[in-house]
Structure 1
Amino acid sequence: MKKEDKKRIIEQISADLQKYENFYLTDIATLNAEKTSILRRECYTEDIKLVVVKNTLLQKAFESLDKNYEELYPVLKGNTAIMFSDVANAPAKLIDKHKADKIPVFKGAYVQESFFIGANTLKDLVNIKSKTELIGDVIGLLQSPAKNVISALQSGGNTIHGVLKTLSERES
């Protein structure tokens, strides 16, 4: 590969690292063509960008950025594919979905400004809630007291109405 090509690839990887808040490092080397196509389709439907990279070029891309990614250097062995995503847990769920096939193999991740290394951290990543899930939870919590008040007023109104009706019938 020519030096210009390497430089262009490093610049592209650096741009993707800056564009996406979250990325996962995986190994998909043992996938055949059919399973690779299936994985790429699933990534596309989940808005995950899957890129196979050379470890040395990825490390140079890391070094070209202001952030310190040294914690991920030990996992840059063998074949490496990067899964870029704006949703923190989307790649983790996809990797977890295929854990029976053991491909893609989780190597490490940079998610919400934290490093996760090793297969034992994948479960934690799957359980991370996305921004939209957190917003939904907050809205649900905010709506809950209002729903309780409305429910109490509605049921209380029926009770008061029933008591008044009974009292009015007694006096007659």
Structure 2
Amino acid sequence: MPTLSDKKAIVEEITEELKGSDGLYITNYKGMSVGDMADLRTEFRKGNVRYKVYKNTMIKRAMEAIGGYDELYPFLNEQNGFAFVEEEFAAPAKALKQYIKDHNKPEFKAALIDGDFYGEKQLDTLAAMKSKSEVIGDIVGLLLAPVSNVVSALQAQGETVAGAVKTIAEKGEE
């Protein structure tokens, strides 16, 4: 039986896991064997996801210490496994989706990604999410698009400002 100092150490470990993560998935692993859990962890590791089992009371204490996890409290019952994710938000969802398809377990309960709550019916939505780096790349591409239009307009019209304005105006009319 863990002592009080052991429990405090576990809560501190969980607190550090939560602070170092951008998201948390909760699954119910009821009915899974040790081998099943090892296989699931292997799938998670491929996506750089840490999957751990903690007592619900311990993880709730860590969540309360940090704050912002209130929506997950109702799911802290039964036998839970917790997937801690950084940046690649879809990685755990993709791994879970495939594993559930092949083995019909574990049960996806909920997730909290960058402060946004996702319920049990939103696993497909999570699997379709882009990573932070993909979203940043899309934004940079959108920001650079107008600049590239100006550059191409300058080159197309003999590099005169009047020609560039004319080309940009014509593109705007399309």
Is the TM value for this pair above 0.5? Answer: yes
CA contact (8 A) 1:88 1:112 kept: no
Alpha-carbon RMSD: 2.4
CA contact (8 A) 1:49 1:85 kept: yes
Question: 1:77 aligns to what?
Answer: 77
Question: 1:112 aligns to what?
Answer: 114
1:1-172 alignment runs, 5 A limit: 1-65=2-66, 67-86=67-86, 87-100=88-101, 101-117=103-119, 119-138=120-139, 142=144
Q: Quickly say closer, same or farther: Cα 1:134–1:68, change in 2 above 3 A.
A: closer
Q: TM (normalized to structure 1)?
A: 0.76
Q: Percent identity?
A: 31
The Cα offsets for residues 23-65 of structure 1, whole Å up to 9 and x where unpaired, read as 1111123222222221111222211001101111111111111
Gaps of 5+ in 1: 154-172
Q: Extract structure 1 runs of 4+ deviating beyond 3 A.
A: 135-147
CA contact (8 A) 2:30 2:79 kept: yes
**Matched residue type, 2:48:** D
Count the aligned residue pairs.
150
Q: What is the CA-CA distance between 1:13 and the residue it aligns to?
A: 0.3
Distance 2:147 2:31 in 1: 53
Gaps of 5+ in 2: 157-174
Query: Which stretch has the larger CA shift, 132-141 or 19-28?
Result: 132-141
SS at match of 1:50: strand
